[in-house]
Structure 1
Amino acid sequence: MKEHTKQLVIEILRDFQDIPQHIKDREEELRHPVVPRDENVGGGRAQYKPNDDIDRLIITIDEDERLHKLKEEYEVVDYCYRHADGYTQKIIYELYIKRYPSYTMQGLIENGIIPYSQKTAYKMRNKFLKEVAKRLGIDSL
């Protein structure tokens, strides 16, 4: 896996806990778009012309690409995490999902949290990252 793809997946994992809030915020943003106030009071022509700019700018929740991407990222990471073995879950949680990580990979091994060598632990992590990238369709980046 290319380094850029790996970093992208790691970034998604680090943001995993916040994705539900991002989804909620985006849905609210789409439901209640900000309407700019018209400061041009009495400025001339066509005072009673209906303003349909907002109607043209509204993106429905079903059509919003950003919202779909957030939901897809959440579902893929959740699926891969739930289907990973227990030790892989510990590695991914401690290194990326946990808000304030307590361990490095070496710390997980030295403290007996995962009973594998460093090489095997990195293989487990990389396998998980590849699976997430593959399911997101970014494995070829």
Structure 2
Amino acid sequence: MGIFLTRNADIHHMVQKNFGKTDNYLVANKHNDCLKGLFKLLLSRLYYIFDGGRMFVLYFDNQGIHEKEISFTDNAPFLLIPWHEVRNFKVKDKRNKVYIDVDHLGKIYSYEIYFNGKLPQGNRERLMQLSEHNFYRGSL
């Protein structure tokens, strides 16, 4: 499943196959903050283009955040970021997109959640549901 060949139905099926439930996931782009993005741009334009265009499926449950990059291979498993290892979790609404920042053991991962387009279809509804359930973070 490559980025250009992936359909929304393929992502839905992959989530259902791995977790059974299909309303706890978001399709996200990797987000680089301005300083990090500028550094990578100066380092290598080609690296910046590929790094900034990486897409992920983020699945949220009581265990944590399960992350999988949408790439040219389906064989890679979802990686778990357990809630007890997350120091800070921020959701910033910017009207037409949302930024999710996760501080996992001192390393910050940032994602952009878009609402328009082929792959992000349904992101807005799933984000609202995840927000209502506090992203399944339990008593954190």
Q: TM-score, normalised by structure 1?
A: 0.22
Bigger fraction of residues in helix: 1
Please give the TM-score of this superposition, normalised by the length of structure 2.
0.22
* Rg larger in structure: 1
Decide which structure has greater strand share: 2
